[in-house]
A and B are shown apart, each in its own frame.
Chain A
């Protein structure tokens, strides 16, 4: 051993000398590596290894890596805390259960060997989508349930599965009647609890015998639940991710939990060095997270009415652009100074603007038209429009109704405008209509609509869109579990592809300008799915925690890490409430992401 290594060891152990031989904690950081093996000692690749460090840890609250083809895994960075046999490391692999964990330490190197054995029942790892797919009669019914329920939480979430067990426990003489009555009560109760959740106070109405279904399609939803979830929902077999795993030994996922209460809807990396910025749609705040230290700071929006930060967009100007959930105020936050700008927007006809998404282009950055105007989808006024950041003026054009879908009301009503993208020449914006399976364009110069175009199913549920550097638009079809590929230049649909998991409720698609692929965020599948337009094939990246509900993916232009977030809208359904950074580990971007060298003080407010 060289002298310098000895010297290093001396520094590491000096703090331990006082408490003698029992000191397990090295004074400096520890590396964590190990193997995942089966009971015969054969390497098991593609198994997630989670290190649950908990809130308050320096850095991410959970770090996850995957075993490679030789079963070996290595956590990125070193960890300042003591790592011993009690450290909260665990494995997660579909169709496997962990039967043994062996720890050994040598200096500042901690090694874990995990032994797993196959299990027929995949219940511990299978996502909600696996249960939905295996229990429901067909794709149309599946789409209907997704469109009506997954706005707020996964289906069947762990809570829904547990309740199916409680219904089964009744041993009712007429099980169908028991299921119909029980799910009927639950759907009414959900409406009550959601109202309570959002208002923070008791609604003045009880859920009594006279209560009807306030949610759209309540009775149809109850029938679907009663006719689909007929067993205890505690056993699932033969589910597979549906496409090759993208996870390798170089893949890493950092999760930053945000203390409750919160509804973390979106997250992006922004600033230099980059910090995570997360939108809490249930409050009036943006949360800034130092990715090196994990330290969090709230940035309260300077508005009387709560903003409910909804969508986040990175601006080419380095600013964070924020759309609201519960007001007509759009905001901009300077990540360097912490300064806010806000615009309370009304249309030229005096109507309050209800922005969903702002216009962004193939780099997922906010784009303006030639006049510097920011375009948006207006979910409140069923149209598209612009606002001028200079004078705060706004104008909205109501989108034409697709006559053939006039009666198809799945969720919000047939004409609500949801996602929005802008073409490379900044002359057109394209939008989706979530409730009736329609999309269309708008020429910002001639101020004329293009289309509308109908997707095959009224329950297709096109949510958030993305656009390639070649003006190919990709639509995440939330209801039918597909990805649509539409050429804006020729106005032609190139293809509609089933995702690896059609019950995964894809919420958003994001074009990756360097990898030339589309990343799909799913609400119900605990996965990120990747589409390669060249080969028309998919890959799947499983996420560490059950109930991970994604609504977006942003791509850090420097390092190519995927940045996303998770939270159920309703607080009565558990699930991760956090921001995630995912390094696919493919080395596609020149700069390698590392959280440890990116610490930066939060700007003053």
Chain B
């Protein structure tokens, strides 16, 4: 295909991506370097019988006008990145100096909003992803041995948790785990503790959110693995069996190696998707016990006074996180590509 033809074919799609994905990233960087204008202070001198006093007051009108004229605010450099709401370098250094144990340091760190969100986001990403892969594989192996008549309906039901709107899916589960909901009641009965509430303790909230994550993403891994199982070479399975391989050995040495490229694919997609975990926290109203990077950006934009610079700084840090997460994959693809070209 000629360069010119290629250009005209790709132009609309490329324009959309540049305007609404690349430029917003630039906009986020610019916003994060600015901070809202300070209030305009006017100093007036009041002279009375006992001499003169200087009085300063806020000129609300001028402040409002200045802020309306320059909504971006004034240039602040990297200061937003290092303030208490983000990297909090001063607080971290302070905690490092005052706390004698590493545990104490960590718990101090956890009180800072950015690190709290980062802790949950990373834990969620790196626990949910492997669990999704394992559960998806088990379901795929199970469904694969079902009678053909049952396969269709089983796949239909299995797809539901995945295609459901994330906010709606988490709401449905949230109502069920309520202390008066069906799962909440059952758990109270099982543990014989009428006060048990999954919403009260941070640990239980984290576990709930992760169970939701596995529930909603396992179907994706299942479908991909199931399709992969259809292409397993039966000859090699039979050969393995004739050589005396047990059922487990067949799976371990024939099926799993065959599915390995799919594991890489699912991990890649899941890491990307789990890193932006957001809707479940809204759906489960879990913000008191668990916040994610995406959630704190949302909260900054949703507060009474929109904190553009704070949201933008967190966004930039999140994008850097995504870049670190993707780096191994990109490096590998680049090497493969160079290998192919050479």
Q: Do A and B come from one complex?
A: no
Binding site for B on A (CB under 8 A): none
